[in-house]
Amino acid sequence: MQYVQRKLQRSVTLMRKSVCTRPKPSTRVPVRRVMEKAHRNRLSSRYKAWLNGKRVICLDIPDDYDYMDPVLVELLKRKVAP
């Protein structure tokens, strides 16, 4: 019985450690891109300290597409292309 309890406690501990409670600061991405202004506002209000003055660009794409919709993918490629 003690063995099972230890295994269960270890599983719970690992699950708690794997859950991300806050984002890690990123130095590799100088510009964040979001689809809508609402996304930019939510990102800025929740993670202001982690953004640390980095640019957040709004692409003005409505969030009406399904995940990996081919139309959305093409639109993103055109908007984000250098």
Q: Pseudo-torsion of CA 60, 65, 68, 74, nearest 10°?
A: -50
> In angstroms, rounded to a whole number, what is the distance separating the alpha carbons of residues 59 and 41?
13
Task: Work out the angle at residue 32's Cα, subtended by the Cα atoms of residues 62 and 37, and round it to the nearest 5 degrees.
Answer: 35
**Model's pTM, two decimal places?**
0.57
pLDDT tens figures, 35-52: 999 999 988 888 888 887
Query: Would you place residue 13 in the very low, low, confident or very high pLDDT band (cuts 50, 70, 90)?
Result: low
Which tokens go with 79? 């908007």
15 contact partners, CB below 8 Å, separation of at least 6 = none
3-class state of residue 8 by DSSP: helix
pLDDT tens figures, 48-59: 888 877 888 899
pLDDT > 90 in the chain, percent = 22
